[in-house]
Chain A
Amino acid sequence: MIFQAAMRRNAIKIEGERSSSLGLARGRLVLISGFFVLAYMVLAVRAFDLTILQGELSQGGERTNGAEQASVPAPGDILRADIVDRNGVLLATTLETASLYADPRYISNPQVAAEGIVKIFPQLSFGDVLQKLQSDKRFVWIKRGITPDEQYKVLEIGEPGLSFRAEKKRIYPQGNLISHMLGYVDIDGHGQAGIERSFNKYLGYGDPLALSLDVRLQHILHREIEKTVKDFDALGGAGVIMDVTNGEILAGVSLPDFDPHNPGAAKSSAIFNGLTLGVYELGSVFKIFSTAALFETLNVPMSTTFDAREPIKIGRFTISDYHAQDRVLTVPEVFMYSSNIGSAMMGQAVGTDALQGFYRDLGLLDPLDFEIKEVTKPLVPSPWGDVHTLTASYGHGIATTPLQLVSAVSSIVNGGYLVKPTLVRTASEDKGRSDVRVVSEQTAHRMRQLLRLVVTDGTGKKADVPGYHVGGKTGTAEKPGRTKKGYDHSRLLSSFVGVFPVDAPKYAIFIVIDEPKGTKASFGYATAGWTAAPAVSRVISSMVSVLGLAPVDQVASSPDFGSELKQFISVKGRHEG
């Protein structure tokens, strides 16, 4: 090798030169090493700065990304609290979700990006998305509140101009089930209806709210009303299960309902809460109140009779019976055959002032004082003439919300203590039950006997559940005619209120079906006894198994609760529905 030969030849001379230049090189190696040590230390410090100081320690704080704003944690940053049912089942919660937006400046291929987006979100229209992606703005929302799965698919499009912002989304795990009671929130998380609206501030502080609802009962009630509405091709329905001892609402349903995640898509009829906003002339179930008023004000015996042979004519009104018996009826007979004539005569006997006062005491004449704000005034005759006393005795000419009716029934059957409906779970057992007495213990007892009689022998036989002593009252009302003249015979409002166990009621179940149409199975009948009563029966059958209530052996038990009234019933007539 030339190199080696040269080295050998000049070995002596170069030796000194080489060692000095090597020495210099070593010194400079140290400098280069030093440079890298410093540079890598800067890297490490910068990495610490980005990951820890700007990352972990500034969650939600200012980011280098100019689009995100610096903010101090405000009440709005607290996640809106959960709503749970009485057993702690989640009814509403808030999740942090991603919302998709586009920065059209970064969109490299709007066509491809829009196609990809529409594929993931079929509800978006291609044209709209394309237009957004080609706009001159720097920020356009594409879809808010998307799932992690959707987010991943969007990322897969690989379009740099598509980005996400973390947003809070209210999630209702039960879907439609409780939509009217819970209500919904707008996109900014402000309650717009139901509990969400009335407890908006409270939930905003982050404290969970426990409702009186029991999701299991809610499901049962929802299912049975839905089935009844479907079977009888009705417009809708509503129902409540109430704890009669304290007014707690265990279930509250209004159909049709809506998806609380997307209330904007629902029809106004679906958003409408029939339980608290709907005022209906509920018909014969009001006979509970007129009969109770009779006992309470006049303290008459059960054997008191009312002549129901002739329809009552007052002015242009004619009051006649649907289940006409054409004879003189005792109080139990009037009640179990649901005689309008008899009830009107009872009202007449009680008198206008007393009846009006009694109804007012039961809360039937004033707007409901309730936790959710979607409530309305009942329609009360004004001025209240004597004729209104007659009609109001059998539930016509006066329209109330279903919730008011259930509360009033509960107040009577629970022994006479006024209850106020509530949706929020009460901490102690006796709370919610007032000391205000609306009827005496004796009247309450007599009313329970009458309610039982309706189920054992009257119009509500289909509501019975063997072993559980169901009592109740049917109500089949004709809806006011569309032309505002009189009533429309073909458009019914069929309802049933049931209580059980009837000797010491705990639960009241009310179901009303809007415009049911008779079916083959019901022999063309769409009256309460064929529609709402069986539904209540099914609700109770399901309820007792969920709640673990044991049946009472009827054969072994003492005579039926309502049987002592049988002495006042003379002839067995036809009394279906």
Chain B
Amino acid sequence: MKLFSRTDKSFLGRWWWTVDRGLISAFMVLVVFGIVLITTASPPVARHLGLGEYHFLIRHLIMLVPALGIMFFTSMLEKRQVWRLASLGLIGALLAMIIVLATGMEIKGAQRWIHIFGFSLQPSEFAKPCFVIVAAWLMSLQKTRENFQGNYYAAGLYLFVVTLLLLQPDLGMTFIVTCCWAAQIFLAGFPFRLLLAFGGLGIVGLITAYFSFHHVHSRINRFLDPESGDNFQVEKSLEAFQNGGFLGAGPGQGSVKLHLPDAHADFIFSVAGEELGLVFILVIVLVFGFILLRGYNRLMESDDMFTVLGAGGLLTMFGLQALVHMGSALNLLPAKGMTLPFISYGGSSVLSMGFAMGAVLALTRKQKRSGVSKGGLSHSLKAGRRIGKM
């Protein structure tokens, strides 16, 4: 099927031939998996909450429309439009987070949500990718512009975002944002000893969290010593995988979704394991791995620092979030509620992932080779990389 001819010079034609269609396909695969899994996982959860059987499924499907719209829209933007949009988004999200903190209601011990059109939105979800893009832009600008202290601005911005997150408190998001920023610093070429220093600070931060937040304290204790307390969700999750076995109990046949109130969101990987078995789990892991490797590989070909830092940070966020979700379900990491990108239910997370991956697609689009000097440069760099690789 040829949607657009190679010589098509229209806007969509150019988009089609420059965007990474492999990544788009992989995202769509995840979206389809997500619909399937939410279809089986969410009705019991909805019934427990006294909602209609397909409450979550319908909302998920509704949310997918703007999420995919945002992804495709963002993927068509020019780079500078991407960071402009991200800047605006960041400002809006940070303002919303402040408003939530000031007025928001508390759900499950944290102030995170804002209610619009019957949907609860979580501004911090949007702040996350926007911050990554803006930080990337600030740091890359330092490299191209003299006397511009982009790194310091980025650091200041980081501290501001993290402060807002800790006030909610939302440690999971703090962790992700920190890791993304660390990855960006790493990519930006900071010396290892500085990174080690940051790592040390991170550990200090974790220890502080351990002693200052009760739920972190108990959760880590429970991870380190399962006998010490209530490990219900993790126990159920492990049972789910054991029940699932190689081929799974069959679609709809699982019982973990009946036990876990977050089966459709934070434990959807367990539902997948129980109903569809090891084979399907491995497929999911492979798809995530494919997206990451393909994305990073695409960055190798880029000669633009903003692209490397921005898309690198966003891909790290994507991969890390999946890693924490799957790791929690498999009890490799302390239980941490985190959605599985594009699969889990969660309006804000789906929308923000749509934007983040749209941005990755936009940044990794193949560049027009109009300028002779630019073309020559990218050419020489490519050659250099090939030699370096060998």
* Residues of chain A whose beta carbon lies under 8 Å from any beta carbon of chain B: 1-3, 6-7, 10, 14-15, 17-19, 21-26, 28-33, 36-37, 39-40, 42-44, 46-48, 50-52, 54-56, 58, 63-66, 105-106, 155-156, 158, 160
Please determine whether B238 and A29 come into contact, CB atoms closer than 8 angstroms.
Answer: no
Contact B255 A160 (CB under 8 A): no
A43 touches B296 (CB 8 A): no
Which residues does chain B contribute within 8 Å of A44, judged by CB atoms?
281-282, 285
Min C-beta distance of A572 to chain B, whole Å: 76
| Contact between chains at A160 and B186 (CB < 8 Å) | no
Contact of A66 with B278 at beta-carbon distance under 8 Å, contacts A36-B319, A55-B242, A160-B232 already known: no
Question: With A29-B299, A43-B326 given, is the CB distance from A50 to B44 under 8 Å?
Answer: no
The 3 closest A-B pairs by CB, nearest first: A158-B48, A50-B241, A155-B258
In Å, the complex CA distance between A379 and B110 comes to: 82
Residues of B within 8 A of A (CB): 44, 47-48, 80, 141, 143-146, 148, 183, 186-189, 226-227, 230, 232, 235-236, 238-239, 241-246, 255, 258-259, 261, 273, 277-278, 281-282, 285, 288-289, 292-293, 296-297, 299-300, 303, 305, 308-309, 312, 316, 319, 323, 326-327, 330, 332, 377, 381, 384-385, 388
Contact of B143 among A14, A43, A51 (CB under 8 A): A14
Chain B contact residues, majority secondary structure: helix
* Residue contact B44 to A55, C-beta cutoff 8 Å: no
Residue from the set A2, A6, A19, A28 with the largest chain B CB neighbour count within 10 Å: A28
CB distance A47 to B308 under 8 Å?
A: no
Select which of B144, B230, B239, B278 is within 8 A of A63 by beta carbon: B239
Let me know if A25 and B293 touch, CB within 8 A: no
**A1, A29, A46, A160: which contacts B296 (Cβ < 8 A)?**
A29
A281 to B246, CA, bound (A): 67
Q: CB-CB < 8 A to B245: which residues of A? A: 51-52, 55-56
Query: How distant is the Cα of A48 from the Cα of B255 in the complex, in angstroms?
Result: 20
Please report the C-alpha to C-alpha distance between residue A23 and residue B381 in the assembled complex, in whole angstroms. 9
For A53, the closest partner residue in chain B by CB is B242
Contact in complex: A26, B230 (CB < 8 Å): no
Q: A156-B258, A160-B259 are in contact. Are A6 and B187 (CB under 8 A)?
A: no
Question: Contacts of B80 on A, CB cut-off 8 Å?
Answer: 1, 3
Tell me which residues across on chain A come within 8 A of B377, comparing CB atoms.
Answer: 15, 19
A46 B186 Cβ-Cβ under 8 A = no
A25 touches B242 (CB 8 A): no
Minimum distance in angstroms from A532 CB to a CB of chain B: 54
Taking the closest CB of chain B, its distance from the CB of A364, in whole angstroms, is 60
Determine how close the nearest CB of chain B comes to the CB of A55; give it in whole angstroms: 4
A25-B305, A29-B299 in contact; A43/B327 too (CB < 8 A)?
yes
**Chain B residues whose C-beta falls within 8 Å of the C-beta of A58 in the assembled complex:** 242
Q: Which of A47, A63, A65, A155 contacts B281 (CB 8 A)?
A: A47
B144 and A18 contacting across the interface, CB-CB below 8 Å: yes
In the assembled complex, how far is the CB of residue B20 from the closest CB belonging to chain A, in whole angstroms? 16
Q: A18-B305, A160-B259 are in contact. Are A32 and B332 (CB under 8 A)?
A: no
Question: What distance in Å separates the Cβ of B249 from its nearest Cβ neighbour in chain A?
Answer: 11
Question: Given known contacts A51-B241, A55-B242, A155-B259, is B308 in contact with A29 (CB within 8 Å)?
Answer: yes
Is the beta-carbon distance between B241 and A47 smaller than 8 angstroms? yes
Instruction: For B273, give its contact among A1, A37, A47, A56 (CB under 8 Å).
Output: A47
* A22–B388 alpha-carbon span in the complex (Å): 13
Instruction: Flag if A36 contacts B44 (CB, 8 Å).
Output: no
A26 to chain B: which residues have CB within 8 Å? 299-300, 308, 385, 388
